[in-house]
Structure 1
Amino acid sequence: MRFEQLKRQANVVLHKKLRKSGKVWLVVGTLFFTGGLAIENNMVAVKADTTVESETNASNNEGESASSSEQPNNQVEADPEADVSKENNEDSSNQDGDSTSIPSDTQTNEYFGGSNETIDDSGNVTADIQYQNQTYSVKGQVGTIAPAQNSAGDKIYVNINKQSSGKLPDDTRIELAGPAGFSYNTYDKYGNKMSNGRNGDSVLNVDQSMKDSNGDLYYHLVDEDTWVKQANGVDGGSTNDGSNDYMVYNVVPKDYPYNDANSVTNKILPAADNDGIISGQISVKSINYGRDFTYDYKGKAGETVSASMNGDSEKDFPYAPVVKIKLLSTTIGELPAGATIELAGPAGFVYSLYDKDMSLSDRGLNGGSAWGTDKKMTTESATYYRVSTDEWIKQVSGVIPSDENVDNPKTEYSIDPDIIEPVLADVTVTSNLADQVVTKQHGAIGSTIDVAVPVVKGYTADKQTIQATVNPDRTITPLESVEYTKDESTDDNSNSNGGNHHSNSNHGSHNNVKKINYDYLNQTIATYLDRGPVQLFAISNNKFNPVSERALKPGTSWVTDQMATITGKHYYRVSTNEWVEAKDAYVYEEVSKVLNIEKITPLINDEEKISSSRELGSDTAWKTDRIVYLGDYQNPTVAYRVSTDEFVIKNN
């Protein structure tokens, strides 16, 4: 619905007030429904010696800016005497609507096209793409993430998508809802936001439309290399003939959480008790096990907590999803009638709008204007004011509310789950004999893991392990090949007794067998919280071989009674013939004491990283249940645990 149409309703009241801003008075005109919600406002700069009666054109303020003592960062204060009318604004086309400058530091080209492209009927794509001044070759299917490699062998991961555009009927137009104080984002053909927006309250000629892989629709402005996204307040347009498909690529991080199949369902909605403790329950689909797992969570608003399995043992499902939950609270209250938001100028500056879920709207509000508001929303990280039915403006520098007190505040609770499920896959190892398959290898996406080289009877491999990369498409690719050498025959140097052959210990491939040294000790160890499932090993043929069927869950505790050492590596025994390498766990002792903190003291996690958001206050007391020995086996960092993954170093 266009904003001008609302003016004609009988229950609309226009309020005006004077507000001093720098050396000028501002006349703020606010359009309200008598039921409450402000829809449109107009603000115009007025000289201090001008009377209110002389203001007859408060609504005709396209392109005008107002001086303000509070300017957004890096903005030049507007001159109230300057002529910045519509006629003097730079406009690159013959379109009706004005261009609006969007701050350049928000512009990044995330999406791009390719060259030398081929695509078959099954959606298989090959192409060359330019990324950070390097050419990468990518091969994969439309709608998937695929590896791309340059001539030096460097690898990135690329999301491959297809977009479709087509010609529109002649004289097709779109209408951008007003008032002119609204600004609409513009984009290039790949979906990158451009540095110039378009003002509201305008009609634009368009000749093409384009639909991206998310189903979002864009319109191409005639005689410009510019597209406007179909969004709230964009009316008109038409369907196209769908004549042109083209590929769009974007690079994803190496550790991209490629877990779309981990669907989440709320089983018990989050709720808070009288002490402010939020709890709830979710169901998470596991990719590795093909079933749902139930997780419980508990904590305070603003915290990120680890969720625990309900009804299943984490030891029985070591490759199940690891779930962390960010606990959120949102408080919404009603503002007094007539409340406004003033936006510091100049008019070319654009303030972003958001929906209730904190997602960016595709339009914003120009600086040098004021708007009615009826509700205030507060989260852990920011405050927002409602300026239309489902559009909110964030309180940042330059956003000045007339009133911050609310009535009837109500708090809602929600969660933001972070789900990481390790990849579980077979690895095909290339060798000079034949491809060897190592089953059930695992690791976090983007990580490099060690894979045990398969034993081939009668042959010796040139290495015991190879490295492999865990890919976003949940496959594992070896980075090395294996060379097998045939063993020398030992038949001439052995004696037969009852059919058993005993090799001469000074002959053949057994010359270099390493001895395992054992130490007997009783102690407790814990696995690191954020490293994923921990590889287990079994002793066979006087060496440690990876166990493929089982692993240790992150953040779990175990009793060990032996430590074994071979070729400088240390292993702890956690069951009859299952061992964990010392680098994948830390030793701890159970204690029960109170720490008296005399000064502000930093906290670390189990990987000795200092927390950037939490610390212990001076003159406080904290209970501890563990003294831990982190890091290097022979020279550990000694610390006390004060929460699940927060420690204070003993020397502090």
Structure 2
Amino acid sequence: MRFNQLKANSNSIVRKKLYKKGKVWLVASMLSFAGVLMLSSVPVKATVTNDSTQQTDTTTVNDDQSSNQNETTSITKTLAVSSNLGDINISVSGQKGTTVEVSAPTKTGYTITSDPTITVQISADGSLSTNDSIVYVANTDSNTEKETDSVDSTQSQSEDSTNTQAEDSYIYTGDNVKQNDDGSYSASVTYQGQTYDVDGKIGDTIRKTDSSGNAVTINIKATKQQKFTDPANSNLINMSNTTAVYDQYGRQTSQILSGNKFVDAQMTDYEGNIFYNISDNADQWIKQGTGVEFTGEGTLSSEVVTIPIFIINDPKLYNGKYESVTEEYNADTGEVTGSVVVHSDYYDKDLTYSYTGKPGETVKATLDGNDSSMITPNVYVDIQASNPESSTGKVGTALNPGDTVTLAGPASHVYDLYNADGTKVDLGLAGDSTWATDSYIYIDGVPCYRVSEDEWVKQSDGVTYNGTVKPVDNTVYTATPYVEPLIVGDVSIDSNLDKKVVKEISGYAGNDVTVNVPDVSGYTKDKDSITAHINDDGTITTDESVTYTKINSGNNGGSDSGIQLDFIKKSQNVSTFVGKGNVTLYKLSGTKFTPVINRALAEQTDWYSDQYVNLDGMTYFRVATNEWVKISNVYRYKDLNTIVNTKNQTSRLLNDEGVLVMNRALGPRTSWLVDRIGYLGDDDNPTGFYRVATNEFLNTSDTLQ
């Protein structure tokens, strides 16, 4: 539970209740004034009852409510129930100390195959728990559609994470996959109705263009499988909770399992996750992680089976796509000019580029009204000339009477003649001669002049038309844009003052970029910049580190007693991260922070802070009397109760540490219930994100305002 335990009152006393978890005492606090126990108006955080359920108490208690007041025995709370499609929130109402039954929420496009009734225990203290879970199976006629979930006339927070061949899964197995002698793979990959023939090695990034000129980036990755050489009953996995089942490509299916299962093989996916194969079930794999314990000492065979997979439009690549292109040919300059409209995924708006070039050239387009601070991709335009409407085989166009063509000498040179259908005539015309002509046609896009009933000479070097009628130019000029995939990401730099994160570094896969090292007040740094590498998977990494040295304040003894700490009063809520364990508390002694060794904050708990201070480049939030927590171990938030709608695009999610969630996303034009806005990041002005699930946050810029 969390309390607003730091009232500005000289008579306030913070009393701590300790409870032990492992070897660490965790803190629960209450505030009293002159012996009267007071509870805060901050919403109560209910405890987690088991690994598969989480609850959030939506009730509040007033500041003037004493501890011996009788609480109401009837409550209404929200409980997160586990399912094969993620946690599903249900509303529970009932009396404390009773058991109630709640209908499992329906989900459009799915059928509930588990018990449709959820049994919920309401304890005497008002906490909720259940041992039930929900199993959804996709209907055969809608298992590739992204539908809106319906829960009690509001939108559910759980999106469909069933990773089939749906368009938003990004992972494709390919057809006609063949390994070549050089170790590369050939395959046909179908995406949005367009089939691409892909050739490359594991780790390659391939760019393909469809018939409309849209560029698609395909990353070739692979899973690797090895059999256990020991008998199947020598290796066992224990699933303490209901666990999702994956296929041989590492994609989550709609199946779930629990209990003890024998396994006969191990797989590593392209992200380094480990999976175990259920014996005698070729396509049932269990992912290693919390609640899945492998017991066995089986030896893996030396034979490794590599299975290529193809990831299309990796969500980390801000490649965008072009929306329209114009072109105009200037006969005087021989150049084609025009514009390209590119939709930027990063800014979610259209950007206009201009270009100029000659047929046969590939030129770089220029962003109109370019703002140097904008993160924009490179756009190239391939300019080609063609004559699809040539008049080969058609009746010629009349010229003026008396028009001629002159064939340059010498007389020994023979100029070829053609029939109107484009076939060559056996005879030719000698050079150094002039011939009457009355019409022209196009053969293979080249104007040809008639010199007899069905004999035509091509316009070429040495052939001069002597007349005033200019043949109509049937040439068509086409401009095909290519939007180079732009990667935008954060760089984490190791230092002696914790990691320093530089945000929104951009560039192109395979390139190195220079990153400026952040300043820290009161310190000098041993370098102004570092070099980072942009990886094909969309990450930006560096092997360099930075050392910060404290500036000598001039007080001879080396003591920092002269340091004046600037305590800033600010009321805000902070929350510890999910799945990161207990968080160390610190106490302030003079001008130094030292760890509190016998108490800690539990993971995934919420706390009120009334002030913060910066020392040695680190910000600390006060959460109790002389107990502080580092900014790097929490995120800030405000409670919020609203429903948001995503834009007309798939929206990526972040966890509470600001890291991209790779296996889940929100569908376009869907609605989601929000319970808080989290400010993720450890800078002074962190970005706000809507929380739509236990550890999933949606960028506010991805919603309709």
TM over 0.5: no
Is the radius of gyration larger for structure 1 or structure 2?
Answer: 2
TM-score (norm 1): 0.32
Q: TM-score, normalised by structure 2?
A: 0.30
